[in-house]
Protein backbone atom coordinates (compact mmCIF):
# COMPACT_ATOMS: atom_id res chain seq x y z
CA UNK A 1 0.00 0.00 0.00
CA UNK A 2 2.80 2.41 0.89
CA UNK A 3 4.68 1.49 -2.28
CA UNK A 4 1.58 2.14 -4.37
CA UNK A 5 1.11 5.50 -2.64
CA UNK A 6 4.73 6.46 -3.33
CA UNK A 7 4.43 5.37 -6.96
CA UNK A 8 1.00 6.84 -7.78
CA UNK A 9 1.04 9.97 -5.61
CA UNK A 10 4.50 11.05 -4.48
CA UNK A 11 6.59 10.13 -7.52
CA UNK A 12 3.88 11.35 -9.91
CA UNK A 13 3.91 14.79 -8.24
CA UNK A 14 0.32 14.55 -7.01
CA UNK A 15 1.04 14.98 -3.29
CA UNK A 16 -0.40 18.55 -3.11
CA UNK A 17 -3.49 17.37 -4.96
CA UNK A 18 -3.84 14.48 -2.52
CA UNK A 19 -3.56 16.91 0.40
CA UNK A 20 -6.24 19.10 -1.18
CA UNK A 21 -8.51 16.07 -1.67
CA UNK A 22 -8.17 14.80 1.91
CA UNK A 23 -8.52 18.27 3.47
CA UNK A 24 -11.56 18.96 1.31
CA UNK A 25 -13.39 15.79 2.35
CA UNK A 26 -12.52 16.06 6.07
CA UNK A 27 -13.53 19.73 6.23
CA UNK A 28 -16.81 19.07 4.46
CA UNK A 29 -17.71 16.20 6.81
CA UNK A 30 -16.79 18.18 9.93
CA UNK A 31 -18.70 21.23 8.67
CA UNK A 32 -21.84 19.20 8.05
CA UNK A 33 -21.57 17.55 11.46
CA UNK A 34 -21.19 20.99 13.06
CA UNK A 35 -24.16 22.56 11.29
CA UNK A 36 -26.36 19.55 12.05
CA UNK A 37 -25.48 19.84 15.73
CA UNK A 38 -26.32 23.56 15.59
CA UNK A 39 -29.59 22.67 13.90
CA UNK A 40 -30.35 20.16 16.66
CA UNK A 41 -29.84 22.93 19.23
CA UNK A 42 -26.93 21.21 20.95
CA UNK A 43 -25.66 23.34 23.81
CA UNK A 44 -21.99 23.71 22.88
CA UNK A 45 -22.51 24.49 19.18
CA UNK A 46 -23.67 27.93 18.07
CA UNK A 47 -23.61 30.05 14.95
CA UNK A 48 -20.87 32.64 14.59
CA UNK A 49 -22.38 36.10 14.90
CA UNK A 50 -21.11 39.66 15.07
CA UNK A 51 -23.89 41.63 16.68
CA UNK A 52 -26.97 40.99 14.56
CA UNK A 53 -24.97 39.63 11.62
CA UNK A 54 -24.75 35.87 11.14
CA UNK A 55 -21.33 35.16 9.66
CA UNK A 56 -21.68 32.17 7.34
CA UNK A 57 -18.78 29.77 7.00
CA UNK A 58 -18.42 30.73 3.35
CA UNK A 59 -16.67 33.87 4.64
CA UNK A 60 -14.00 31.78 6.37
CA UNK A 61 -13.78 29.64 3.25
CA UNK A 62 -13.02 32.63 1.06
CA UNK A 63 -10.29 33.76 3.46
CA UNK A 64 -8.72 30.27 3.52
CA UNK A 65 -8.89 29.95 -0.26
CA UNK A 66 -7.19 33.31 -0.66
CA UNK A 67 -4.47 32.35 1.82
CA UNK A 68 -3.91 28.94 0.22
CA UNK A 69 -3.90 30.30 -3.33
CA UNK A 70 -1.50 33.14 -2.60
CA UNK A 71 0.67 30.79 -0.54
CA UNK A 72 0.94 28.29 -3.38
CA UNK A 73 2.07 31.07 -5.70
CA UNK A 74 4.53 32.55 -3.23
CA UNK A 75 6.40 29.39 -2.13
CA UNK A 76 9.34 28.11 -4.20
CA UNK A 77 8.58 25.32 -6.67
CA UNK A 78 11.05 22.90 -5.08
CA UNK A 79 9.41 23.16 -1.66
CA UNK A 80 7.00 20.24 -1.60
CA UNK A 81 6.11 20.74 2.06
CA UNK A 82 4.98 24.32 1.60
CA UNK A 83 3.04 23.37 -1.54
CA UNK A 84 1.32 20.60 0.41
CA UNK A 85 0.43 23.00 3.25
CA UNK A 86 -0.96 25.58 0.80
CA UNK A 87 -3.00 22.86 -0.94
CA UNK A 88 -4.42 21.71 2.41
CA UNK A 89 -5.44 25.26 3.32
CA UNK A 90 -6.97 25.75 -0.12
CA UNK A 91 -8.89 22.47 0.19
CA UNK A 92 -10.32 23.51 3.55
CA UNK A 93 -11.47 26.83 2.14
CA UNK A 94 -12.95 25.17 -0.96
CA UNK A 95 -15.02 22.82 1.19
CA UNK A 96 -16.41 25.72 3.24
CA UNK A 97 -17.27 27.70 0.10
CA UNK A 98 -18.88 24.84 -1.82
CA UNK A 99 -20.86 23.80 1.25
CA UNK A 100 -22.75 27.08 0.83
CA UNK A 101 -22.71 27.12 -2.96
CA UNK A 102 -26.52 27.41 -3.03
CA UNK A 103 -26.34 30.55 -0.88
CA UNK A 104 -23.98 32.16 -3.39
CA UNK A 105 -26.09 30.96 -6.33
CA UNK A 106 -29.43 32.27 -5.02
CA UNK A 107 -28.04 35.18 -2.95
CA UNK A 108 -30.25 34.13 -0.03
CA UNK A 109 -30.05 31.80 2.95
CA UNK A 110 -31.43 28.58 1.37
CA UNK A 111 -29.13 26.27 3.32
CA UNK A 112 -31.91 24.14 4.84
CA UNK A 113 -34.30 24.28 1.90
CA UNK A 114 -34.67 22.17 -1.22
CA UNK A 115 -32.55 24.67 -3.16
CA UNK A 116 -29.73 24.01 -0.69
CA UNK A 117 -29.16 20.60 -2.29
CA UNK A 118 -27.23 22.41 -5.00
CA UNK A 119 -24.39 22.78 -2.48
CA UNK A 120 -24.19 19.01 -2.01
CA UNK A 121 -24.23 18.50 -5.79
CA UNK A 122 -21.34 20.96 -6.16
CA UNK A 123 -19.37 19.10 -3.48
CA UNK A 124 -20.00 15.77 -5.19
CA UNK A 125 -18.79 17.19 -8.51
CA UNK A 126 -15.62 18.54 -6.89
CA UNK A 127 -14.90 15.18 -5.20
CA UNK A 128 -15.46 13.28 -8.45
CA UNK A 129 -13.24 15.57 -10.53
CA UNK A 130 -10.45 15.58 -7.93
CA UNK A 131 -10.63 11.80 -7.58
CA UNK A 132 -10.29 11.33 -11.34
CA UNK A 133 -7.31 13.69 -11.40
CA UNK A 134 -5.69 11.68 -8.59
CA UNK A 135 -6.11 8.54 -10.68
CA UNK A 136 -4.19 10.20 -13.48
CA UNK A 137 -7.19 10.74 -15.77
CA UNK A 138 -6.98 14.21 -17.27
CA UNK A 139 -9.63 15.90 -19.39
CA UNK A 140 -7.23 17.69 -21.76
CA UNK A 141 -4.53 15.09 -22.42
CA UNK A 142 -4.24 11.49 -23.51
CA UNK A 143 -1.53 8.96 -23.00
CA UNK A 144 0.70 8.77 -26.03
CA UNK A 145 -0.16 12.05 -27.71
CA UNK A 146 -0.87 15.62 -26.83
CA UNK A 147 2.26 17.72 -27.31
CA UNK A 148 4.78 17.29 -30.10
CA UNK A 149 8.16 16.49 -28.49
CA UNK A 150 10.04 18.43 -31.15
CA UNK A 151 8.12 21.67 -31.31
CA UNK A 152 6.17 21.58 -28.05
CA UNK A 153 2.93 22.40 -29.88
CA UNK A 154 -0.32 20.49 -29.86
CA UNK A 155 -0.61 17.69 -32.38
CA UNK A 156 -3.38 17.77 -34.98
CA UNK A 157 -4.85 14.52 -33.71
CA UNK A 158 -5.12 15.94 -30.21
CA UNK A 159 -6.80 19.13 -31.44
CA UNK A 160 -9.30 17.15 -33.52
CA UNK A 161 -10.16 14.79 -30.66
CA UNK A 162 -10.49 17.71 -28.26
CA UNK A 163 -12.90 19.52 -30.60
CA UNK A 164 -15.02 16.38 -31.06
CA UNK A 165 -15.15 15.74 -27.31
CA UNK A 166 -16.20 19.32 -26.58
CA UNK A 167 -19.01 19.11 -29.16
CA UNK A 168 -20.20 15.81 -27.68
CA UNK A 169 -20.03 17.30 -24.18
CA UNK A 170 -22.19 20.26 -25.22
CA UNK A 171 -24.76 17.94 -26.83
CA UNK A 172 -24.81 15.73 -23.72
CA UNK A 173 -25.34 18.70 -21.42
CA UNK A 174 -28.10 20.07 -23.66
CA UNK A 175 -29.82 16.70 -23.37
CA UNK A 176 -29.97 17.21 -19.61
CA UNK A 177 -27.31 14.64 -18.64
CA UNK A 178 -25.13 16.74 -16.35
CA UNK A 179 -23.14 14.00 -14.65
CA UNK A 180 -22.55 12.14 -17.91
CA UNK A 181 -21.25 15.32 -19.54
CA UNK A 182 -18.91 16.23 -16.68
CA UNK A 183 -17.44 12.77 -16.16
CA UNK A 184 -17.35 12.27 -19.92
CA UNK A 185 -14.69 14.96 -20.14
CA UNK A 186 -12.44 12.45 -18.40
CA UNK A 187 -13.91 9.31 -20.00
CA UNK A 188 -14.81 10.20 -23.63
CA UNK A 189 -16.78 6.99 -24.16
CA UNK A 190 -19.49 8.35 -21.86
CA UNK A 191 -19.85 11.41 -24.10
CA UNK A 192 -20.62 9.21 -27.09
CA UNK A 193 -23.26 7.30 -25.12
CA UNK A 194 -24.82 10.48 -23.74
CA UNK A 195 -24.94 12.17 -27.15
CA UNK A 196 -26.51 9.18 -28.92
CA UNK A 197 -29.23 8.31 -26.38
CA UNK A 198 -32.50 10.23 -26.19
CA UNK A 199 -32.65 13.43 -24.20
CA UNK A 200 -34.40 13.91 -20.88
CA UNK A 201 -38.01 15.19 -21.22
CA UNK A 202 -37.35 18.57 -19.55
CA UNK A 203 -34.02 19.26 -21.28
CA UNK A 204 -33.48 22.04 -23.86
CA UNK A 205 -32.76 19.42 -26.55
CA UNK A 206 -36.16 17.81 -25.92
CA UNK A 207 -37.97 21.16 -26.11
CA UNK A 208 -36.25 22.07 -29.36
CA UNK A 209 -36.39 18.78 -31.27
CA UNK A 210 -39.05 16.50 -29.76
CA UNK A 211 -42.82 16.81 -30.20
CA UNK A 212 -45.07 15.76 -27.36
CA UNK A 213 -46.63 13.03 -29.51
CA UNK A 214 -43.36 11.73 -31.00
CA UNK A 215 -41.96 8.28 -30.24
CA UNK A 216 -38.68 9.75 -28.96
CA UNK A 217 -40.44 11.91 -26.41
CA UNK A 218 -42.58 9.01 -25.20
CA UNK A 219 -39.49 6.83 -24.91
CA UNK A 220 -37.71 9.59 -22.97
CA UNK A 221 -40.63 9.83 -20.55
CA UNK A 222 -40.64 6.06 -20.00
CA UNK A 223 -36.91 6.03 -19.32
CA UNK A 224 -37.26 8.98 -16.98
CA UNK A 225 -39.91 7.19 -14.93
CA UNK A 226 -38.22 3.78 -15.05
CA UNK A 227 -34.54 4.60 -14.50
CA UNK A 228 -34.05 8.27 -13.69
CA UNK A 229 -36.59 8.70 -10.89
CA UNK A 230 -35.17 5.84 -8.73
CA UNK A 231 -31.67 7.24 -9.19
CA UNK A 232 -32.84 10.70 -8.14
CA UNK A 233 -34.50 9.28 -5.04
CA UNK A 234 -31.32 7.38 -4.19
CA UNK A 235 -29.22 10.52 -4.68
CA UNK A 236 -31.55 12.52 -2.41
CA UNK A 237 -31.31 9.80 0.23
CA UNK A 238 -27.50 9.94 0.10
CA UNK A 239 -27.57 13.73 0.28
CA UNK A 240 -29.85 13.75 3.30
CA UNK A 241 -27.81 11.02 4.97
CA UNK A 242 -24.66 13.13 4.63
CA UNK A 243 -25.99 16.66 4.91
CA UNK A 244 -29.25 16.25 6.85
CA UNK A 245 -32.85 16.58 5.77
CA UNK A 246 -34.01 19.78 4.12
CA UNK A 247 -37.32 21.54 4.76
CA UNK A 248 -37.39 20.11 8.30
CA UNK A 249 -36.52 22.97 10.64
CA UNK A 250 -37.28 22.17 14.31
CA UNK A 251 -39.85 24.40 16.05
CA UNK A 252 -37.23 25.47 18.58
CA UNK A 253 -35.05 26.94 15.87
CA UNK A 254 -38.02 28.66 14.28
CA UNK A 255 -38.96 30.17 17.64
CA UNK A 256 -35.39 31.25 18.25
CA UNK A 257 -35.24 32.83 14.80
CA UNK A 258 -38.48 34.71 15.48
CA UNK A 259 -37.22 35.93 18.84
CA UNK A 260 -33.94 37.09 17.27
CA UNK A 261 -35.86 39.02 14.61
CA UNK A 262 -38.03 40.63 17.30
CA UNK A 263 -34.97 41.63 19.32
CA UNK A 264 -33.37 43.11 16.23
CA UNK A 265 -36.54 45.09 15.50
CA UNK A 266 -36.62 46.46 19.04
CA UNK A 267 -32.97 47.46 18.82
CA UNK A 268 -33.63 49.30 15.58
CA UNK A 269 -36.54 51.17 17.13
CA UNK A 270 -34.45 52.05 20.19
CA UNK A 271 -31.64 53.37 18.01
CA UNK A 272 -34.10 55.45 15.98
CA UNK A 273 -35.58 56.88 19.17
CA UNK A 274 -32.15 57.73 20.54
CA UNK A 275 -31.21 59.48 17.31
CA UNK A 276 -34.46 61.48 17.40
CA UNK A 277 -33.83 62.51 20.99
CA UNK A 278 -30.28 63.50 20.15
CA UNK A 279 -31.50 65.69 17.28
CA UNK A 280 -34.07 67.30 19.54
CA UNK A 281 -31.47 68.00 22.23
CA UNK A 282 -29.21 69.58 19.65
CA UNK A 283 -32.09 71.86 18.70
CA UNK A 284 -32.32 73.04 22.34
CA UNK A 285 -35.76 71.71 23.28
CA UNK A 286 -36.51 70.28 26.73
CA UNK A 287 -38.19 66.86 27.18
CA UNK A 288 -41.45 68.51 28.31
CA UNK A 289 -41.46 70.76 25.28
CA UNK A 290 -40.74 67.81 22.95
CA UNK A 291 -43.60 65.84 24.50
CA UNK A 292 -45.99 68.78 24.26
CA UNK A 293 -45.07 69.49 20.65
CA UNK A 294 -45.44 65.82 19.72
CA UNK A 295 -48.85 65.71 21.44
CA UNK A 296 -49.96 68.89 19.66
CA UNK A 297 -48.81 67.52 16.30
CA UNK A 298 -50.74 64.30 16.85
CA UNK A 299 -53.92 66.23 17.83
CA UNK A 300 -53.57 68.47 14.77
CA UNK A 301 -53.18 65.48 12.51
CA UNK A 302 -56.19 63.78 14.09
CA UNK A 303 -58.35 66.91 13.66
CA UNK A 304 -57.24 67.31 10.06
CA UNK A 305 -58.11 63.69 9.30
CA UNK A 306 -61.51 64.04 10.96
CA UNK A 307 -62.24 67.25 9.05
CA UNK A 308 -61.35 65.64 5.74
CA UNK A 309 -63.46 62.59 6.58
CA UNK A 310 -66.46 64.75 7.60
CA UNK A 311 -66.23 66.84 4.42
CA UNK A 312 -65.98 63.72 2.30
CA UNK A 313 -68.88 62.11 4.13
CA UNK A 314 -71.02 65.26 3.76
CA UNK A 315 -70.33 65.48 0.05
CA UNK A 316 -71.17 61.83 -0.42
CA UNK A 317 -74.42 62.26 1.57
CA UNK A 318 -75.48 65.27 -0.46
CA UNK A 319 -74.77 63.46 -3.73
CA UNK A 320 -76.79 60.47 -2.54
CA UNK A 321 -79.74 62.73 -1.57
CA UNK A 322 -79.65 64.49 -4.93
CA UNK A 323 -79.63 61.20 -6.82
CA UNK A 324 -82.46 59.81 -4.69
CA UNK A 325 -84.61 62.92 -5.34
CA UNK A 326 -83.97 62.74 -9.08
CA UNK A 327 -84.93 59.06 -9.14
CA UNK A 328 -88.18 59.80 -7.24
CA UNK A 329 -89.11 62.53 -9.71
CA UNK A 330 -88.35 60.25 -12.64
CA UNK A 331 -90.58 57.48 -11.22
CA UNK A 332 -93.50 59.83 -10.44
CA UNK A 333 -96.28 59.64 -13.21
CA UNK A 334 -97.52 63.18 -12.46
CA UNK A 335 -94.15 64.77 -13.05
CA UNK A 336 -94.78 65.18 -16.76
CA UNK A 337 -98.57 65.90 -16.61
CA UNK A 338 -98.87 68.52 -13.88
CA UNK A 339 -96.78 71.65 -13.57
CA UNK A 340 -95.17 72.40 -10.27
CA UNK A 341 -97.45 73.66 -7.53
CA UNK A 342 -95.56 76.90 -7.21
CA UNK A 343 -96.38 77.87 -10.77
CA UNK A 344 -100.11 77.09 -10.26
CA UNK A 345 -100.16 79.22 -7.16
CA UNK A 346 -98.51 82.11 -8.94
CA UNK A 347 -100.85 81.74 -11.90
CA UNK A 348 -103.93 81.64 -9.65
CA UNK A 349 -102.76 84.62 -7.67
CA UNK A 350 -102.33 86.67 -10.84
CA UNK A 351 -105.93 86.00 -11.96
CA UNK A 352 -105.19 83.54 -14.71
CA UNK A 353 -107.53 80.86 -15.95
CA UNK A 354 -107.31 77.68 -13.81
Domain membership flag for residue 57: yes
Domain membership flag for residue 47: yes
257/129 same-domain check: no
- In Å, the largest CA–CA distance within the chain is 140
Residues 6+ apart with CB under 8 A from 18: 9, 134
Residue 113's domain comprises 1-136
Domain membership flag for residue 78: yes
Residue 62 contacts residue 54 (beta carbons within 8 Å) = no
Domain membership flag for residue 88: yes
Q: Where are the alpha helices (DSSP H) in 224-340?
A: 229-243, 251-282, 287-331
Residue 20 contacts residue 90 (beta carbons within 8 Å) = yes
Domain membership flag for residue 294: yes
Q: What's the pLDDT tens digit per position in 110-158? A: 787 777 888 888 898 899 889 888 887 777 555 444 555 555 455 677 7
Q: Where are the alpha helices (DSSP H) in 177-250?
A: 178-184, 188-196, 204-209, 215-223, 229-243
Domain membership flag for residue 316: no
In the listed set 71, 103, 136, which residue is the last one of a domain according to the structure? 136
In the listed set 102, 136, 170, which residue is the last one of a domain according to the structure? 136
132/4 same-domain check: yes
Average pLDDT of the segment spanning 338-346? 45
Q: What's the pLDDT tens digit per position in 228-287? A: 888 888 878 887 787 777 666 555 555 666 777 778 888 888 888 877 777 777 676 566
In the listed set 136, 166, 184, which residue is the last one of a domain according to the structure? 136
Q: What's the pLDDT tens digit per position in 162-192? A: 888 889 889 998 988 888 888 888 888 888 8
Q: What is the number of domains present in the chain?
A: 2
95 phi and psi angles, rounded to 5 deg: -65, -40
- Percent residues over pLDDT 90 in the chain: 13
332: alpha, beta or left? (left if phi > 0; alpha if psi -120 to 50): beta
299 phi and psi angles, rounded to 5 deg: -65, -40
Domain membership flag for residue 26: yes
Amino acid sequence: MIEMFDERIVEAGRLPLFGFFVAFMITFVLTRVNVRLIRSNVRWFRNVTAGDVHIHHVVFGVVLMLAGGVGSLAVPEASVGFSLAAAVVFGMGSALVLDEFALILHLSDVYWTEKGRASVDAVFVAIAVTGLLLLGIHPLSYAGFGFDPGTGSLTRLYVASLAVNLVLAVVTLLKGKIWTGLIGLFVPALLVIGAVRVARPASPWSRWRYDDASRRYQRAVRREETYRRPLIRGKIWVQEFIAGRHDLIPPELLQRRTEAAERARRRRLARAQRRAEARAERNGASPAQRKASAWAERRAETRARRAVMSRTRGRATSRMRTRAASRRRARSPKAEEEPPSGRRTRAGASGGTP
